[in-house]
Amino acid sequence: MKGWTEEKLAGLPAKNDVRLRGLEMTRLETFTDAAFAFATTLLVISLGGIPESYAGLLVALKGTPAFAASFAAVASFWASHRTWSRRYGLEDGPSIMISLALIFVMLVYVYPLKMVFSALFYWISRGWLPTSFTFSASDGELNGLFVIYGAGFFAMALMMSLLYRRAVRCADELRLDAVELLRAREEMVSFAAMAGTAMVSALFAWLMPLQVGVWAGFIYCALPVILPLVSVRYSRQVARLKAELVAEPEGVDEE
């Protein structure tokens, strides 16, 4: 880990109140980028091959919404890990192990991810958007899919939360100021909330009767409410802290 000094930190650019300590590409970040790129390749391969006719092309294009949603989910976790790397530049043992666990879960998570979104768009379009996956809601297969998907989402969000927890634990070595520490805790809590939501959805699908458990996917609709609330809470704390830091020198001058 680099020995950060005030002189080195003063020359760093900042984004969202956090100085970017990881501008240099690390081997961990390079490997993570390659792994996430491979995960998106698996999404394409799971489409079933290159169309051999115009009709086949149209069917393949109808799978674009499910692919786009799956790609967005993978890309969001890649972007989150990239942000973490840019902010802290950590490449110690715990950070490497957590990142490798994140990659492992992502590579396993790709297929249930594609199946969930494929089923969702098939249901929304009443069958107009096709799905190459077959499962039976009456036999509990759809509920099982939500359990598997929820477990994967839980694990990935948990890994991201642990990475930010690692940054908080390394606050002294990284010389995080009070505002940067609050921002790290904000991300840690946000990803913990995502992990908790996924766990609730998985348990709902597992424990509820079949005809009720199939609605487990809609529990994720709580995230657009929960995450902004977390953001507002910490943004207020940051604003209050900044105000205190600005007022403190004025109080000293008055004395």
Phi, psi (degrees; rounded to nearest 5) at 17:
75, 5
Rounded Cα–Cα distance for residues 194 and 208 (Å): 21
Residue 58, CB-side half-sphere exposure with 13 Å CA sphere: 3
Here the tokens at position 36 are 């996430």
- Whether the model clears a pTM of 0.85, i.e. scores above it, the answer is yes
Rounded Cα–Cα distance for residues 180 and 17 (Å): 6
Partners of 19 in the β-ladder = 14
Here the tokens at position 90 are 């950590």
Rounded Cα–Cα distance for residues 83 and 20 (Å): 9
Rounded Cα–Cα distance for residues 224 and 211 (Å): 25
Rounded to the nearest 10 degrees, the angle between the axes of helix 64-88 and helix 93-124 is 160
- In tens digits, the chain (255 residues) has pLDDT values of 567 778 888 888 989 899 999 888 778 888 999 999 988 888 776 555 666 777 767 776 777 888 888 899 999 999 999 999 999 999 899 999 999 999 999 999 888 888 888 888 887 777 777 776 666 656 678 888 899 999 999 999 999 999 999 999 999 999 999 999 999 999 999 999 999 999 999 999 999 988 888 889 899 999 999 999 999 999 999 999 988 878 765 555 544
C-alpha torsion angle, residues 173, 177, 182, 185 (rounded to 10) = -10
Rounded Cα–Cα distance for residues 113 and 117 (Å): 6
Residue ranges per structural domain of the chain: 6-254
